């Protein structure tokens, strides 16, 4: 079994655990940043890190009390119109606009904080521009 196959198997085990947490529904609002179990994905899809397969994500849009459109973050300095640079909790961050997706509340496990109003608006505006290309 390759390293990638092992990671996929580990992710699937964690995914079963997350699915069993259906009764846990934290209160989540737009503009908040959460640790999110994004998983071990394929191809160019952004992966989570650590044994939780997670990374920080911005709650861009609340669709229901159980589903959200999110934008994942990276701390790597990326360039292009599908990235937005900003500061969060005193650190440089990059919103990876091209990796937005809809997620279920079960993937969220720890609230990190709330993004600044100006940075939130900047991310939303950049995302709208990306979609209009």
pLDDT tens, residue by residue, 93-111: 999 999 999 999 989 989 9
CATH number of the domain within which 107 lies? 2.30.30.110
Q: Which two tokens stand for residue 60?
A: 């861009």
Nearest to 88 by CA among 75, 99, 78, 77: 75
Nearest to 103 by CA among 73, 74, 60, 132: 60
Count of domains observed in the chain: 1
Domain carrying residue 127: 3-131
Residue 21 binned pLDDT confidence (cut-offs 50, 70, 90): low
75 close to 93: Cβ distance less than 8 angstroms: yes
pLDDT tens, residue by residue, 54-89: 999 999 999 999 999 999 999 889 899 999 999 999
Place of tokens 């920080």: 56
Q: When comparing pLDDT for 101 and 17, which is higher?
A: 101
DSSP 48-64: PBTTTTEEEEEEEEE-S
Residue 133 binned pLDDT confidence (cut-offs 50, 70, 90): low
């Amino acid at each position: 079994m390759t390293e990638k196959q092992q990671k996929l198997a580990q992710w699937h085990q964690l995914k079963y655990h997350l699915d069993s947490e259906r009764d846990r529904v934290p209160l989540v609002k737009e503009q908040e940043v959460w640790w999110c179990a994004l998983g071990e994905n394929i191809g160019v899809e952004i992966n989570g890190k650590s044994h939780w397969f997670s990374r920080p994500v911005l709650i861009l849009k609340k669709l229901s009390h159980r589903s959200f459109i999110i934008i994942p973050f990276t701390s790597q300095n990326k360039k292009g119109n599908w990235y937005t640079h900003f500061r969060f909790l005193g650190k440089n961050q990059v919103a990876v606009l091209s990796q937005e997706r809809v997620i279920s509340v079960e993937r969220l496990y720890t609230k990190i904080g709330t993004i600044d109003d100006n940075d939130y608006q900047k991310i939303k505006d950049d995302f709208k521009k990306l979609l209009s290309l």
